[in-house]
Amino acid sequence: MRILNRVRPVPALCAGLLAALMLATAPSLEAQIPAPPQARPVALVGGTIHTVSQGVIERGTLVFEEGRITAVGADVAVPAGAERVDVTGRHIYPGLIDAHSNMGLFEIGGIDQAIDLNELGPFNPNVRAHVAFHPASRHIGVARSSGVLVTVSAPTGGLISGLAAAMMMEGWNWEQMTVAPEVGLMVNWPSPFNQRLYTRGIRQLRDFFAAARAYQVAHAATPGGHATDARLAAMGPVLDRQVPVVVSANELRQIQDAMDWAADEGIRLVILGGRDAGFIADELAQRDVPVLLSSVLTSPNRAWEPYDAAYSLPARLHQAGVRFAIAGGSAAAYANRLPYEAGAAIAFGLPADEALRAVTLRPAQILGIDHRVGSLEPGRDATLMITTGNPLEYSTVVEQVYIAGRQVDMRDAHRQFFERYQEKLRQFSAEEEQVVSP
């Protein structure tokens, strides 16, 4: 038997009192307000500038105006009327890039309305992540405080999930925050553990790409006279090699088959995940197939693997000459851990400079956004951070970030809760002192 609880309607007055009570008892957290566009030139003077692409400049000056870097060097003149910021003793780095995330598409697990990651059906190349990006996500501020200033937000689900977008972590809406709306077509390579389903999945991929090519030919032959198919039309930039195909593949067989498939199709391939990439690093380097590595801070999946299989993988790929970036886990709530994923790789053989590139310039180059972010050069976006040291180290504090020249509010949810409970500790300590005192 099923018993239904009958809930009586709450009168409007009672509902209003209830809402007021909830607001009064809720934690006094302030929402971070997006900063206005840069109003005048800013000069960061006296700091150590880590350009990533052009080496390190001691006691340098970096100038940016209207959101773009205009000058970087040791003998740069500060423009008249510029805001001069003394950063002596501090370090300036380009913002870190989370090369694969569900940032802005995932807010609270278990609540469907807060998750917008996939659409129905196996083929959705027309899905675009940037238009679904939630600009007020609480995860954004937390990630920024660790130096993650650009995220590549990607849909999931099906065989072809849709188009990932590079998003800056500041702004009122997705239009302001979009760096590039199409940086990769997300493909989930079939699982190899069921041969029948594996073969069928690859055949479906090949058939869909063949249909997309036929559509492209038919549409070009009869402009305006051919019925439009949004899914097939979205494949145009991929088939023309303007947009790479980012294939999620971890097993050795998956990676090898994906490379052969991409060569047959004549498309640009990027491997996402790449757990077994170290076993075929030479082939990846020879074919110039870049890899977006998933979590470095993880344990082996198989009993026969050494404990440091994931920790040392970046170093092994670097030694083989493979182009790679460290993407970390895709969860938005843990995007703030990205710098420590790269830091762990340093402890297991990856040179420190390469680890920094793996979360700045390398993902920007692989995904075609290096003309805007990933390094500190004139003409690039003023998307950077001021720190007390290397951002890949736990002890480093990110004191201030600028995104496209906007000075960002640094009081994220974690910091506000820290301050809240610091005050609680102070008050309780004061009360105890009063009790103990005669």
The tokens describing 355, both together, are 């680890």
Q: How far apart are CA 284 and CA 278, in angstroms?
A: 9
Predicted pLDDT of residue 208? 97
For residue 368, the one-letter residue type is G
Does the pLDDT of residue 18 top 50, yes or no?
Answer: no
Mark whether 145 and 247 lie in a shared domain: yes
CB 242 within 8 A of CB 215: no
Among 325, 350, 373, the domain boundary falls at 373
> Could you tell me if residue 8 is inside a domain?
no
| pLDDT band with cut points at 50, 70 and 90 for residue 1 | very low
Q: pTM of the prediction? A: 0.88
Contacts of 276 (CB under 8 A, 6+ apart): 250, 251, 252, 255
Rg (alpha carbons) of the chain, rounded to whole number: 25
* Residue 376: per-residue pLDDT: 98
328: left (phi over 0), alpha (psi -120 to 50) or beta: left
Kindly compute the dihedral angle of the four CA atoms of residues 169, 423, 109, 254, in this order, to the nearest 10 degrees: 60
Q: What is the CATH number of the domain that holds 106?
A: 3.20.20.140
Q: Looking at residue 404, which CATH number applies to its domain?
A: 2.30.40.10
C-alpha dist (Å) from residue 260 to 68, 202, 248, 403: 41, 11, 15, 40
Q: Is 108 found in the same domain as 87?
A: no
237: left (phi over 0), alpha (psi -120 to 50) or beta: alpha
- Using the predicted structure, report yes or no on whether residue 21 has a pLDDT greater than 50: no
Q: Is residue 420 a part of any domain in this protein?
A: no
Q: Is 28 left (phi over 0), alpha (psi -120 to 50) or beta?
A: beta
pLDDT by residue (tens digit) across 2-12? 333 333 444 44
35 and 116, same domain (yes or no): no
pLDDT of residue 107: 87
Indicate the pLDDT class of residue 22, thresholds 50, 70 and 90: very low
- Whole-angstrom Cα distance, residue 258 to residue 229? 26
**How far apart, in whole angstroms, are the C-alpha atoms of residue 415 and residue 397?**
12
- Asked whether residue 86 is assigned to any structural domain, the reply reads yes
Determine the straight-line distance between the first and last CA of the chain, rounded to whole angstroms: 64
Residues 50 and 195 in one domain: no
Tell me the pLDDT tens digit for each residue of 377-419. 999 999 999 999 999 999 999 999 999 999 999 988 888 888 8
Q: What is the mean pLDDT of residues 318-324?
A: 97
- For 250-270, write each residue's pLDDT tens digit: 999 999 999 999 999 999 999
Same domain membership, residue 188 and residue 254: yes
Asked whether residue 9 is domain-assigned, the answer is: no
Average pLDDT, rounded, for the chain = 90
147 and 241, same domain (yes or no): yes
175, 292: one domain: yes
- 223 and 184 assigned to the same domain: yes
The verdict on 150 and 227 lying in the same domain is: yes
Determine how β-strand 269-273 pairs with β-strand 291-293.
parallel
Contact 41, 64 (CB under 8 A): yes
* pLDDT value for 399: 96
Closest CA to 401 of 193, 196, 146: 146
434 vs 229 pLDDT, higher one? 229
Instruction: Answer yes or no: is 418 within a domain.
Output: no
Over range 1-23, report the average pLDDT.
Answer: 40
Judged on CB neighbours under 10 Å (0-12, 13-18, 19+), 216 is middle
pLDDT digits (tens, 9 = 90+) for 133-175: 999 999 999 999 999 999 999 999 999 999 999 999 999 999 9
In the listed set 314, 347, 373, which residue is the last one of a domain according to the structure?
373
* Predicted pLDDT at 412: 85
> Can you give the pLDDT at residue 438?
59
pLDDT at 19 over 50: no
Residue-level pLDDT at 227: 80
Instruction: Let me know the angle formed at the C-alpha of 237 by 233 and 238, rounded to the nearest 5 degrees.
Output: 100
Q: Is residue 13 part of a domain?
A: no
Whether residue 267 sits in one domain with residue 152: yes
- Considering the domain boundaries, does residue 26 fall inside one? no
Do 150 and 367 form a contact (C-beta atoms < 8 A)?
Answer: no
Same domain (yes/no): 330, 200: yes
- Which of 62-71, 110-119, 195-204, 390-399 has the lowest average pLDDT? 110-119
% the chain with pLDDT above 90:
77
> What pLDDT band is residue 30 in, cutting at 50, 70 and 90?
low
Asked if residue 94 lies in contact with residue 382, where contact means CB atoms within 8 angstroms, the answer is: no
Question: What integer is the mean pLDDT of 39-49?
Answer: 97
> Is residue 330 very low, low, confident or very high in pLDDT (cuts 50, 70, 90)?
confident
Q: Which two tokens stand for residue 160?
A: 């072809």
Residue 2 domain-assigned?
no
Mean pLDDT computed over 116-133 = 91
pLDDT (tens digit, 9 = 90+) per residue, 270-313? Answer: 999 999 999 999 999 999 999 999 989 999 989 999 999 999 99
Per-residue pLDDT tens over the stretch 190-229: 999 999 999 999 999 999 999 999 999 988 888 776 788 8
Q: 69: domain range?
A: 31-95+374-409
Q: Are residues 44 and 146 in the same domain?
A: no
- Number of structural domains found in the chain: 2
